[in-house]
Structure 1
Amino acid sequence: MHSRTHRARPRTHVHPARSAAHAAAAPAHTASRSRSPARPPAAAPLPVPVPLPLPLPLPVPAPRCDGQRRRRKAAGAGAAPSVAMEPGEPGEPGEPAWERRAGPRLGGRALLELALAGGAAAWAAWAVLLMPGFRRVPLRLQVPFQPSSPRQVGNALRLLRGRCGKTVDLGSGDGRLVVEAYKQGLRPAIGYELNPWLLCLSKYRAWKAGCHGKVSFLKKDLWKVNLCDCHNVIVFLAPSVKPPLATKLLAELPDEARVVAGRFPFPSWTPTSTLGQGLEQVWAYDMKEVRRAGQSSL
């Protein structure tokens, strides 16, 4: 057997001081590597939104009509529901909307009762407001109350502007003409009225205007009043009263008197002046001129 000779490797000699320094530096190097900042972890992928299913639309109930309600009630009562449309239901071609909403029609009996109720109300108004003042006056001389408009009152007083003397209103009604005449300076101002309700209203109007006790409202029949001392007469009466009233005024008024008529003129007299148009027109008559025209015609 051949003997193998091993070549001995030369061993390097390590200085004890260097080995100690190397051993001391190794832990420090290891520590420095461990303190190095770590890499951030990879970001997780964002979740992909999954589309949610849309909610299905709820069925909207169709509006019920009267016909459907009637059919449902009939079906609940045991009757067989009818499928055909009833006349007058909404949706029927050629039928306007206002006919479908019309209420029940009045029969002949209902119309008769309505007419009787209206007649009773009119009679009650006549009995309460007008009849107390006309019980002793003939029917052809009765004049219903109709208040004068502000324009009529203004036109009548404009035709009396600048005059003086006693002023009367024949059939004074609610007293507005008498109160305005007093404010204009026509004094004394007197109103003649038969209706007690209108007399109370006239006195209230005078009190409200500050003329209480300064104007007079008398419950007298104008056909029985003596007008010989009147210089200004206001007449807002019906046409049927004008002919007999003209005879009374010619017989009693002095020549210096002036008559102002509203709504309707005196048919046989010629006016001295006029003002306004239509229902607001008023006419002024000077008694001296009226008598002169009457004598010349004779």
Structure 2
Amino acid sequence: MKKFLLAVASVVLGAASAQAADLAAHYTKAPVMAPAYNWTGFYVGGNVGGQWGSSDPTTSTVWSPSGYFIGNNVRALNAVGAQHVNSSSVTGGFTAGYNWQVNQAVFGLEGDINYFGFKDSATGSAKYPCCASSFTVNSSVSADWLATIRGRIGFLATPSWLIYATGGAAIADVKANFNFTDTDDAATESGSIRDTRVGWTAGVGGEYAVGNGWSLKAEYLYVDLGRATTTSTNLTGLTQGPFPSSVFTHSVDLKSNIVRVGVNYKFGGPVVARY
């Protein structure tokens, strides 16, 4: 009986030792750390898209006892002088900025300068209420370039996918020309505006990091450059005038919607490890 028990114990101990040795031979590696994209750093890029803008240029005058117009004629001119133009064009240019990533939030400062391509004109004519003669008012508005300086604040939907809001200053060189012509004595008046306007812009966008510092973005911006105004007293006719008391006021505003896509390249910056 003792021999039998010893034999059984030897078999059990041998099996346990073999199992322990087998377990010791298997192990699991720690997962390899992969680099996660970090948005902190300086970047440059380019963009291309389209702009759809509008402007309301106006020409108006006032009645004066020594002026050219009588009351009803002033009202008719002011009504025709309230004009509207639309413009759409391709836009594109260059971008530079810097981002700071704090956990899942990204804060940034970005500037860009772009070809804007805003250009349009309007013409209106009418007869004076008093008489058979008529008049015409012409307006033209253009802005060749647009620059913005904007803050950005966003959050990371994934380590590579940034969704952001942006807003700041918009700057453009706005040009407008105005002409009034009258069939009576060929009376004419003209005015012009050229003003580097500083307005505001705001929008939203998304940017996706594709790796090695490169990212792709798409964004929408609304731009409002406010209104500029000038006056003139140069109304004169072929045989009459001048009429300095007939003061003309010209003004122009400019608003635009911009949709564009772009590519950015970020220089250096830290790399964060992830499992």
TM-score range, shorter chain: under 0.3
The answer to which structure, 1 or 2, has the higher relative contact order (CA under 8 A, 6+ apart) is 2
Larger Rg: 1
**Greater fraction of residues in helix:** 1
